[in-house]
């Protein structure tokens, strides 16, 4: 292992240590604030109560978390497939892009929470509505970032590929797509967080299971410890999805500067 690799590993390890320290300090401040101001449990539970709810309520939380995860993944994967596909279609013609992209922006501005009751009328209560709300929230970032990535391909690379006799499909596979992948992954990572929000909004409308239903039930009972525990499960699901995309991105585009770690050359940033 060379010196630069050792330095990168050292920095990554210590970044995680710093994150753990910050989390511990926040939990300590949370506990001390409750004790100092005598905050009632139905207003803000103690960290120990939340942890107890997470552990002892796992039998109820895990099936709900699995249900919510299915809705998140369904909406997210649908957004990836249709989002990338639509971006390619719009970029295939300047006329299509000029005609439909403003409509796409306008559709994004419509509050998805306002659409959710309509979706229950059209799709019914349950998984289809949850997936559709997650899809609608996560669709736009993927379309926009895919278009930005493809438009941002260096013209010099395209000219070199053409001069070597590459056809349109060869140029797309070997030049355009690899160059656009960093931007596409950026859109997917933003979309993954929005898909979590969308799935919960869909569950709030009328799901009979899932973490959204757990939150609604706990709210009606003023059980804030269970609410915090459900939020913690949601956070973990979102982080696992986000870092799974980070891992896929790392192995898909190891050549990209964002994956190389530190720039140790003289004058480097």
Question: pLDDT tens digit string along 206-219?
Answer: 777 899 999 999 99
Report the distance separating Cα 44 and Cα 30, nearest Å.
9
Contacts of 156 (CB under 8 A, 6+ apart): none
pLDDT at residue number 12:
64
Question: pLDDT tens digit string along 137-163?
Answer: 999 999 999 999 999 888 888 878 888
Cβ neighbours, 10 Å, residue 31: 13
Report the distance separating Cα 70 and Cα 64, nearest Å.
10
265 has a pLDDT exceeding 50 = no
Q: What are the structural domains, with CATH classification, of the chain?
A: 46-257 (1.10.3720.10)
Check: pTM over 0.85? Answer yes or no. yes
For 160, 166, 170, 180, the CA distances from 163, given in Å and listed in that order, are 5, 7, 12, 21
Sign of CA dihedral 264, 267, 268, 269: positive
Cβ neighbours, 10 Å, residue 104: 17
Mean pLDDT in the chain?
A: 87
């Amino acid at each position: 292992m060379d010196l630069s690799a050792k330095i990168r590993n050292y920095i990554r390890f210590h970044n995680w240590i710093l994150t753990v320290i910050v989390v511990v300090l926040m939990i300590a401040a949370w506990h001390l604030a409750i004790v100092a101001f005598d905050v009632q449990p139905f207003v803000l539970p103690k960290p120990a109560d939340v942890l107890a709810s997470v552990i002892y309520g796992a039998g109820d939380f895990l099936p709900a978390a699995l249900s919510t995860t299915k809705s998140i993944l369904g909406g997210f994967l649908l957004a990836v497939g249709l989002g990338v596909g639509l971006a390619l279609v719009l970029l295939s013609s300047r006329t299509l892009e000029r005609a439909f992209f403003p409509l796409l922006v306008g559709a994004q501005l419509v509050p998805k929470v306002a659409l959710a009751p309509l979706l229950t009328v059209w799709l019914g209560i349950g998984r289809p509505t949850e997936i559709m709300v997650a899809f609608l929230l996560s669709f736009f970032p993927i379309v926009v970032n895919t278009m930005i990535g493809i438009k941002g391909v260096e013209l010099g690379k395209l000219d070199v590929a053409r001069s070597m006799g590459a056809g349109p499909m060869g140029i797309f596979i070997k030049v355009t797509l690899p160059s656009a992948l960093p931007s596409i992954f950026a859109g997917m990572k933003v979309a993954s967080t929005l898909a979590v929000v969308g799935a919960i909004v869909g569950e709030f409308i009328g799901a009979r299971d899932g973490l959204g239903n757990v939150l609604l039930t706990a709210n009606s009972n003023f059980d804030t410890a269970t609410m915090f525990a459900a939020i913690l499960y949601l956070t973990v699901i979102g982080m696992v999805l986000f870092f799974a995309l980070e891992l896929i991105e790392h192995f898909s585009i190891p050549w990209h500067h964002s994956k190389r770690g530190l720039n140790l050359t003289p004058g480097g940033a």
